[in-house]
Amino acid sequence: MSIGSEPAPSAAMEGSWGQDSASVRTQEACHPIGQAPDPIRPASLLDYVPHYVEIGDLGRGNFGLVLRALDTRPTSQSPEVAIKMLPRGEFIRNYKTYVKREIVHQSSLRHPSIIRLREVFMTPTHIGVVMDCANGGDLHAYITRRPAMRLCEEEARWFFQQLVVGLDYCHSRGVANRDLKLENLLLDSADSPRPILKMCDFGYSKHELNSLPKTSVGTTCYMAPEVYLGYTTYDAKVADIWSLGIILFAMLFGAFPFKGRDKRYIQAVLLGRYAIPPDVQVSSGVMHLLSLMLVPEPSCRCELSAIIHHPWFLQDLPAGAFEMNARLLAEKLQLEDVPYRVNRLVDMAQRLGDAREPVTFVRL
């Protein structure tokens, strides 16, 4: 299955992830960005939040329409922003858990490889999640623009190193992503010879201080076997390692490792049976690393520390990457009241507001 194609959903994948919180996000296969219900598009951000000037659309995330805008306030150091617009009412009632998680978890992650959230506002019709804007598109689009629809090993390593350093920071903060995929990896520029990668969309993330994950969420072709099969509980950080392996494979070969549909797909995943395209030559080092990550049994899958110390990963790793993580982890974040304020705002957004209702802001 190439990364530019979309597999048909199997019988085990039937149903929309929006049916209930335990449903697999199955209508979103491998390529489309999100499949949330079509949000009502606001007429203009100027209606309620005049300091944001809309300049275009960026597409859709997991939970809503994303707009490009300018923050015209003189205190704004970087005026261009992305704003995810989430319609109040039924949409928030159905997805409030995921909306809260995305805002609370992502606001606690301050790292160059993670999109920074700036603030959240609530108008009478929408919640707006304001974040830094990445102008280079996503990694899936970046790869599919290449003539061979894949990356050379050196470039794949550059992106993979950034992703692993960022994920190491997330896991150290106690947050597992649970929806790592090419479409959720944004780039600061599509034209730079060395684009900076940034993770986004933490709606399905899980914090280790909460209960163990029980729900099958994520995107099918990136989903670890234990998630796909609906294990009663599983380690979300270990499931992230499987997704790392899928991403690295897709970057190198322009295809996803496991073939087939329905039972044949499940059988290939459970056996860890993947074929290497014969026309692509890669090093034995990266093949060894893939063999450590794409292990169906979670208890036998490698830990993130094994990836970090692997010779293939360490080659040409920018100096000071993990020292930077240590410094960032040592910083105290002034976010003690954010979970309470975000929970309160999202709870209020379960109903539509009155046109006279003032806009509420939560600075992150």
Dump pLDDT digits (tens) for 34-88: 334 444 454 565 589 999 999 988 887 556 789 999 999 998 888 999 999 999 9
Tell me, yes or no, whether 153 lies in a domain: yes
Pair of tokens at residue 250: 């897709």
Q: Could you give the number of structural domains in the chain?
A: 2
Predicted local confidence at residue 62, as pLDDT: 58
* pLDDT at site 335: 78
Structure tokens at 266: 């499940």
pTM exceeds 0.75 for this model: yes
In a domain, 35, yes or no: no
CA-based R_g, the chain, Å = 20
User: Tell me, what's the pLDDT at 204?
Assistant: 84
The helix (H) or strand (E) run that includes residue 44 is none
Clarify whether residues 309 and 177 are in a common domain: yes
Q: Is 68 helix (H, G, I), strand (E, B) or coil?
A: strand
Q: What is the pLDDT of residue 187?
A: 97
Q: E strand or H helix at 175, and its extent?
A: strand 175-176
Q: What is the pLDDT of residue 275?
A: 86
CA–CA separation, 84 and 123 (whole Å) = 13
Choosing from 71, 138, 168, 179, the catalytic residue is: 179
Question: Which residue stretches of the chain have pLDDT < 70?
Answer: 1-2, 4-46, 61-63, 208-218
Is 179 a residue of the active site? Answer: yes
**Quick one: pLDDT at residue 61?**
59
Can you count the helices (H) and strands (E) in the chain? 11, 10
Q: Is 84 annotated as a binding residue?
A: yes
Are both 351 and 270 inside the same structural domain? no
| One domain, residues 63 and 168 | no
- pLDDT recorded at residue 154: 97
Q: Do 86 and 229 belong together in one domain?
A: no
At residue 263, the pLDDT reads 84
| Structural domain for 97, as ranges | 45-133+332-363
